[in-house]
Amino acid sequence: MRLSRYFLPVLKETPSEAQIASHRLMLRAGMIKQATAGIYSWLPLGFKILRKLENIVHEEQVRAGHIPMLMPTLQSADLWRESGRYDDYGAEMLRITDRHGRDMLYGPTNEELITDIFRAHVGSYKDLPLTLYHIQWKFRDEVRPRFGVMRGREFFMKDGYNFDLTKEDAMHAYNRHMVSYLRTYERMGLQAIPMRADSGPIGGDDTHEFLVLAETGESEVFYDSAITDLSLGERAVDYNSWDDCAAIVKEWTTPYARTDETHDEALFNAIPEARRKTSRGIEVGQIFYFGTKYSDAMGATVQGPDGKSTPVHMGSHGIGVSRLVGAIIEASHDDKGIIWPEGVTPYHAGIVNVKQGDAEADAACEAIYASLNALGLEPLYDDRDERAGGKFATMDLIGLPWRITVGPRGLKNGVVELTCRRTGESEELPPEQAIEKLALVYAGHVLRPSL
């Protein structure tokens, strides 16, 4: 992409309404614009990152054996009356009446709708296990929408639902989700710690939230620092294996980690003092096992191997995809701007031409731009006729992990400058070597055509 032809409305001023870094930076970097309280338009740069995160979530869900689909945003109130949640959900639910006077709602979650689909089409235990998911906009009329996309009213969520014959099978689904979530967050360059939590309006006893540690997080968390040493890395996981998934879950759930809702002071004090940590966290996902709560209420049964009709065991699992954009920025920024992890960056490298209009500099930039594209990488070429200082500031603000700076002085010596956004370190290299280095950096990453 050439910046001269892009739509990147960066702001010079720091917006006064934004209280935390991610909100400020998303506004300043031209990623979002508030449409009305808690509701945002995703401008091209923000949309590109949202799509990247969505793709990672899809890839990891499909890898775990879960099946993508799409349900609507608007739902009929009648289904929610069946489960009893139409009244229970309270003022957070946006209620709508259509022209025929029928009660509708903008879905805050989809347990009822998916259970209705299940009961209409699945009748035998032979069709289990089944996990369906979608990534769709949700609406919750939060009392205090704040921090930009972090606590929006309209937000983008991946929500998945498992249907199993037995509690044991459903616990495998729970474990499988925990492992696939750990992988998902790791690919996004995040450490998200599973913490025993409270189930709230979704219901059930078994639930974990995934929290990214950040001072600006809305939850208070208590944990054993040993948990922050864990990582899945390149570990191969057999999602079909009960034991494989359970072993990883055990590893992650053995060290103490709880939100304030379930915190137990006595257990916490049993951890060696040096490892006892209290912090704040951003909740980027939550998984639930709630047994037959919805299948009992809505008659979602299958015929078991003994021929008897039995309600299915269910759980649901959510990832806050739009919130993750903010969470990644909270975890990865400095006073100049965002620092995207390589796995989610909207463009792989910026090219800054410090002397636009200089024939040699222009030609060198064009050649680098073409080579990076040919490798399947997406460069963002700042080809505007602007001062170099302004171009650097924009690149630092939008946070691309690498920048290639091209100018007549370097070109005289056959070199360009390759700068790492995270460390600030630069090296002078012939253009081919800078390109080779970027190819190596991104070798392990999934590259896909641009939107």
Q: Which residues bind ligand P5A (CB under 6 A)?
A: 109, 140, 142, 151-152, 155, 157, 159, 202, 283-286, 288, 316-318, 320, 322-323
Q: Which is nearer to ligand P5A, 150 or 438 (CB)?
A: 150
DSSP state of 292: T
Which SS3 state, helix, strand or coil, does residue 215 take? Answer: coil
Residue 251: CA count within 13 A, CB half-sphere: 14
Output the smallest distance, CB 38 to ligand P5A, in A.
Answer: 7
Kindly tell me which of 290 and 340 has the beta carbon lying closer to ligand P5A: 290
* Cβ closest to ligand P5A, residue 197 vs residue 404: 197
- 384 burial type by CB count under 10 A (0-12 exposed, 13-18 middle, 19+ buried): middle
Phi and psi (nearest 5°) for 23?
-65, -45
- Nearer residue to ligand P5A within complex by CB, 22 or 109: 109
DSSP 2: B
Cα–Cα distance for residue pair 443/45, rounded to 1 Å: 23
What does the alpha-carbon distance between residue 65 and residue 172 come to, in Å, rounded to a whole number? 12
When CB distances to ligand P5A are compared, the closest residue is 320
Is 332 or 419 the residue whose CB approaches ligand P5A more closely? 332
Q: Which of residues 322 and 419 has its CB atom nearest to ligand P5A in the complex?
A: 322
Q: Of all helices (H) and strands (E), which one includes residue 17?
A: none
CB of 61 to ligand P5A, least distance (A): 12
Q: Tell me how far apart the alpha carbons of residues 383 and 367 are, in angstroms, rounded to a whole number.
A: 13
The tokens of 404 are what? 């290639």
d(CA 312, CA 111): 13
Q: In the numeric block, which tokens belong to residue 392?
A: 């650097």
Evaluate whether 434 touches 420 at the Cβ level (below 8 Å). no
Of 46 and 407, which has the nearer Cβ to ligand P5A?
Answer: 46
Rounded distance, CA 352 to CA 398, Å? 13
- The gap from C-alpha 220 to its chain's centroid, in whole angstroms, comes to 21
Nearer Cβ to ligand P5A (161/223): 161
Q: Which two tokens stand for residue 23?
A: 């909100």
Written as six digits, the tokens of 57 are: 């979530």
Closest separation in Å from C-beta 207 to ligand P5A: 9
Q: Report, in Å, the least distance between residue 201 CB and ligand P5A.
A: 8
* Nearest distance in Å: CB 135, ligand P5A: 11
Whole-number minimum distance, CB 238 to ligand P5A, in Å?
A: 25
Q: How far is the CB of 288 from ligand P5A (least distance, A)?
A: 6
Q: Which is nearer to ligand P5A, 136 or 356 (CB)?
A: 136
Minimum separation from the CB atom of position 138 to ligand P5A (A): 7
Q: In whole angstroms, what is the distance from residue 257 CA to residue 197 CA?
A: 9
Q: Rounded to an integer, what distance in angstroms lies between the CA atom of residue 287 and that of residue 212?
A: 15
Q: How far is the CB of 303 from ligand P5A (least distance, A)?
A: 27
Residue with tokens 């896909």: 448
